[in-house]
Amino acid sequence: MAGETRADGGRHPLFVPAILVGGVVFGFGLGLSQMYRPEVVLRFFQLTDMGLLLVMGGASVVAGTAFAVLSRTGRAAPLTGTQFGKRVKSMDRNVVLGGGIFGVGWGISGICPGAAYASLGVGNVTILYALVGMFVGAYLQGYVRSTADSAAATTEEPA
């Protein structure tokens, strides 16, 4: 399979091409549904265009069905080689804060990260402002998390 890990710890040779194909298919889907256009997303938030709801709903049904079926088969995920199953994540402060920041950014810019790349691919260069904001936010989150982890590790060590 494409995601099986070899005995030497490396990935299967088809791992990267499989990800590339998935990204291309995702990009074409965004293009076909016009979800790379911020005005389409903003009209959804204004409740004047429910096309995004249909796209997200259709994707959720397909993904949910595939996950439900595959998690019962005991098979491993093709790209990672890990078993399908629920990954329980507690609803902590970081999850709520991160979701809130993501939602505000999505509402202001009218674009999410995947659609931003597709929008850039069709020539929308002004979307670079949103992409820079996403990269700065991701960097700051990593910096804050590593600083907090370092502080926690320092207080846990005996003096």
Does residue 30 or residue 157 have the better pLDDT? 30
pLDDT tens digits along 109-145: 888 888 888 888 888 888 888 889 889 988 988 888 8
Residue 118: Cβ within 10 Å count: 21
pLDDT at 1: 47
Other residues' Cβ atoms within 10 Å of the Cβ of residue 47: 8
Question: Distances from the Cα of 133 to the Cαs of 38, 68, 140, in angstroms?
Answer: 15, 35, 10
DSSP letters of 80-121? T-PBP--------HHHHHHHHHHHHHHHHHS--HHHHHHHHH
Tell me which of 43-47, 52-56, 137-141, 155-159 is least confident: 155-159
3-state secondary structure at position 134: helix
User: What is the C-alpha separation between 43 and 48, in angstroms, rounded?
Assistant: 5
The predicted pLDDT at position 61 comes to 95
